[in-house]
Amino acid sequence: MALDYSEPAQALTFLGQLDPGSCRVKIGKELFCVGGPDLVRRCIDSGFDVFLDLKYHDIPNTVAGACRAAARLGVWMVDVHACGGRRMMDAARDAIQGTPRPPLLTAVTVLTSHDQQSLAETGVVGSIDEQVERLTGLAVASGLDGVVCSAREAALLRERFGSVPVLVTPGIRPSGSSADDQTRIVTPAEALAAGANHLVVGRPITRAADPKSALAAIVAELQSAA
């Protein structure tokens, strides 16, 4: 579950209502910039696995240092941008090896806010599917654990790469909820059926009138679809 809050106190109050066994949590850029490593540690100390979603994309040495620091925090998962290339992903992989508890290392392929037009504006030639498949191939070749992609591409990646890469799918929206700023969205049951391993759901829960009930409804949907 994405902790889509702007203040650590809000996030911690919300987590206080939840059983750590019911979900893992994702901390993104806004919340991390305010709460920092201390917030990550408090979430972990409360029993939650943390996906540190900072999408590192820089020169290999810088990304390696950032991934090593994330591993030392004890996070469950960390991500980089696959478009940083093989050398950067190789450096990230090497940096976390040998740490006490290496996190899952995943690579972002194409952001779920992109459509074909906006992707072309960045200079990418070809379809979204082609770019996702290309970047997934780079991540797999670099020995990463998996990729972050839309669940719309999950079935394609399962067909192409089998069960090896972990597929983390943001842009999950229960039926009837707002798409917000996402364009390539699917329901929780559809994502599971397509082969996703980990579903990222944020605003449909955190902005719900009753967030705890919204999370419970999604969990029930996934259990019935399994």
Task: Provide the token pair at 115.
Answer: 């459509």
Q: Where does the pLDDT of residue 186 fall: very low under 50, low under 70, confident under 90, or very high at 90 and above?
A: confident
- What average pLDDT does the segment 134-156 reach? 97
pLDDT for the residue 226: 66
Choice among 19, 38, 49, 53 that is catalytic: 53
**How many residues are there in the chain?**
226
One-letter amino acid identity for 124?
V
Say if residue 107's pLDDT is above 70. yes
Confirm whether 19 is a catalytic residue: no
Average pLDDT taken over every residue of the chain = 93
C-beta contacts of 184-187 below 8 A and 24+ residues apart: 184/112, 184/114, 184/115, 184/128, 184/150, 184/152, 184/153, 185/112, 185/150, 186/150, 186/151, 186/152, 187/221
Choice among 49, 58, 94, 129 that is catalytic: 58
pLDDT, tens digit (0-9, with 9 covering 90-100), for 37-83: 999 999 999 999 999 999 999 999 999 999 999 999 999 999 999 99
Which top CATH class is 8-219? alpha beta
- What average pLDDT does the segment 76-92 reach? 98
pLDDT for the residue 175: 66
* All structural domains of the chain with their residue ranges: 8-219
- What average pLDDT does the segment 167-183 reach? 73
Q: Where does the pLDDT of residue 208 fall: very low under 50, low under 70, confident under 90, or very high at 90 and above?
A: confident
Q: Report how far residue 176's alpha carbon sits from residue 210's, in angstroms, rounded to the nearest whole number.
A: 16
Q: Where does the pLDDT of residue 18 fall: very low under 50, low under 70, confident under 90, or very high at 90 and above?
A: confident
Residue ranges of the binding site for substrate:
4, 26, 53-62, 112, 173, 182, 202-203
Burial of 90 (C-beta count, 10 Å sphere; 0-12/13-18/19+):
middle
Q: Report how far residue 135's alpha carbon sits from residue 150's, in angstroms, rounded to the nearest whole number.
A: 13
Choice among 55, 94, 129, 180 that is catalytic: 55
DSSP conformational letter for 37: H
Q: Report how far residue 43's alpha carbon sits from residue 56's, in angstroms, rounded to the nearest whole number.
A: 21
- Of residues 110 and 217, which shows the higher confidence score? 110
Confirm whether 212 is a catalytic residue: no
